[in-house]
Amino acid sequence: MGLPPSSIPEIFGKDKLLLARGAAGAATGPQLDILVSLAGDADEEVRRAAQNTLGRLSDEYCAKLLAAPSLPEPVVRYFLDPARLRPALLPILLGHPACPPEAIVDLAAEAGPAVLPLLVEHLELLNTPALLALRNNPAYLAVQKAAPAAVSPAPALPTTEEEKRVVARGTRPAPEGQQLSILVALIADSNEAVRRAAQATLDDLPEEDCAEQLAERTLDEVVARYFLDPAHLRPPLLPMLLTHPATPPDAIADLAAKAGPKVIPVLLDNLDLLKTSALVALKENQAYLTWQKEPQTEGVVIEVDLLEMLIAEAEAEDARIAAGGPVAVAMTEEEEKKEGLSGKIARMGVAQKVKMALLGSREERSILIRDGSRVVSRAVLSSPKLSDTEVESFAGLKNVDQDVLRNIAMNRKFMKSYTVMKVLVNNPRLPIDIGLTLLPRLIQNDLQLLTKNRDVADIIRKMAVKLSKTRQQ
């Protein structure tokens, strides 16, 4: 998180330096808003002095000022920076109404091993976007995989009918962390009134409350299965379940096999989190086979042949890992920045690349179109975000697999553009059989230019000469 620029330009020279050193200011002591502003000052001496002063301030002093109702947003962002985070101040910041939600999400997404325990300790103060960001944080996933599997404590189920009804209605607080386990158990109770009450309470639970319990390492398998049932699926909670070590793989595959038109787009939006067994189950899902043929206005659409290609490559990747091949290791944000986008993509699995190809940025597509995997380049050409200008540039690339050029030539939508067709024919990488079929579509001027293009195959150039002479007769 960057520091805000100084907001007090009217203070100059020694006065500014005195404020930065905490030697001047309000009678009550140094002010956080002034120090935070000076910590982003253009003058290096002022900047360092302000940062040093902020670092020396006690937690008690900072907590008092951070609790003020009129807390400035830049101050919140300063103390939410992972490099400056103080454990004692985190609950105050998370619960403050002036705390920008996106700043908490950024912290959850960027937190490293030193900060993660602090966030986990205060899960109750994180909203759903922050919980999901934490769930997808590479450092958090690495910790989860490295940690030994935790055993879920048996839920303290009520015994009498009256206790069951009270708990099922949610009028009596459940033991901490066991509300979902108890309610899910009660929806299978023999008493219909208890079943209905428990189901109604579960349906009314906010996603924030559910996410907090689903994030626990001691997640009950029965609870995971409940929320993976298509009838109870909540899209914002799906990434947490797909990446949780306690989630049974067969339950995910079962969801993919039973998913209907409303759930299929949710699964495809989380394509990079699906294991091979789930991809296979989805391919055999009759609802999916019907859905992918129909025009869709939103979300990712993956046709059957593309899904089959993805499954084949995912199976090959699984076999390589099982044979002791290298496994991608989660990187810190600083490492990712240093490595760059190309390095980040190179470390991705095939499913992650496919998702990025479908939903990523223009820059990401420009890298992925050159990927050695046919399914990845095919996904780039299937992206709903792909522009005509990008297709034209891809058609002229001389460092892509020939299948990319063949797929462009076989796409009716792309070939409606005369420019794309012309660029393809002039690309020396274009397969000869495709080039020969496209030659008759060139106008005479472009055909004559092609006869002088020494980069294309001889047979293409000779056929262009022959066709040009025929037209001139």
How much is the average pLDDT of 329-343? 65
Q: How far apart are the first and last CA of the chain?
A: 70
Residue 83 has a pLDDT of 79
pLDDT at 137: 77
In a domain, 406, yes or no: yes
The answer on pLDDT for 9 being more than 90 is: no
Supply the pLDDT for residue 6. 42
| pLDDT at residue 65 is higher than 70 | yes
Residue-level pLDDT at 112: 80
Out of 124, 148, 176, a domain closes at: 124
Which domain-ending residue is among 107, 124, 141?
124
In this predicted structure, which of 6-15, 203-212, 368-377, 379-388 has the lowest mean pLDDT? 6-15
* Residue corresponding to tokens 């600083």: 334
Q: Which H or E run includes 393?
A: helix 388-395
285 falls in which pLDDT band (50, 70, 90)? very high
- 245-280 pLDDT, tens digit per residue, is 888 899 999 999 999 998 999 899 888 888 899 999
* 114 pLDDT above the threshold of 70: yes
Compute the distance between CA of residue 181 and CA of residue 150 in angstroms, rounded to an integer: 16
pLDDT at 331 over 70: no
- Tell me the two tokens of residue 358: 């479908």
Q: What angle do CA 367, 368, 371 make, to 5 degrees?
A: 105
- Let me know if residue 287 belongs to a domain: no
Residue 98 has pLDDT above 60, yes or no: yes
pLDDT band, residue 154 (cuts 50/70/90): low
Instruction: State residue 4's pLDDT score.
Output: 45
Per-residue DSSP letter, 246: T
For residues 278 and 318, is the Cβ–Cβ distance under 8 A?
no
Give the pLDDT confidence score for residue 13 in this predicted structure. Answer: 55
Query: Whole-number mean pLDDT of the chain?
Result: 84
Q: Which pLDDT does position 335 carry in this prediction?
A: 58
The residue-averaged pLDDT of 442-467 equals 92
* Within-domain flag for 232: no
Give the residue from 96, 124, 152 where a domain finishes: 124
CA–CA distance, 469 with 448 (Å, rounded to integer): 9
Do the domain assignments include residue 431? yes
Whether 421 maps to a domain, the answer reads yes
CB-count exposure of residue 372 (10 Å: 0-12, 13-18, 19+): exposed
29 forms beta bridges with 26
Q: Is the pLDDT of residue 333 over 70?
A: no
Query: How many structural domains compose the chain?
Result: 2
- Please report which confidence band the pLDDT of residue 325 belongs to, taking 50, 70 and 90 as the band edges: low
Query: Is 245 within a domain?
Result: no
160-178 pLDDT tens trace:
788 888 888 877 777 767 8
Does residue 387 lie in a domain region? no
What was the pLDDT predicted at 402?
A: 93
Residues facing residue 26 across a β-bridge? 29
Confidence category of residue 365, pLDDT binned at 50, 70, 90? very high
Q: How many residues does the chain have?
A: 473
Mean pLDDT for the stretch of residues 423-446: 93
Is 151's pLDDT higher than 60?
Answer: no
* Region of residue 340 (left: phi > 0; alpha: psi -120 to 50; beta: else): left
Whole-angstrom distance, CA of residue 264 vs CA of residue 255: 9
Model confidence pLDDT, tens digit, residues 229-250: 998 999 888 988 988 888 889 9
The upper half-sphere exposure of residue 75, i.e. CA atoms within 13 Å in the direction of its Cβ, equals: 21
Q: Using alpha carbons, select from 421, 432, 440, 423 the residue that is nearest to residue 457.
A: 432
205-224 pLDDT, tens digit each: 988 888 888 888 788 888 99
Question: Is 33 part of any domain?
Answer: yes
3-state DSSP call for residue 253? helix
CA distances from 371 to 169, 329, 375, 385 (A): 54, 20, 9, 18
For residue 328, the model assigns a pLDDT of: 55
- Which pLDDT score, from 0 to 100, does residue 3 have? 43
Highest mean pLDDT, choosing among 21-35, 73-87, 192-206: 192-206
Share of the chain above pLDDT 90, in %: 33
Q: What is the mean pLDDT of residues 301-308?
A: 89
Contact by Cβ (8 Å): 156, 182: yes
Structural domain harbouring 39? 13-124
CA atoms of 25 and 18, how far apart (whole Å): 9
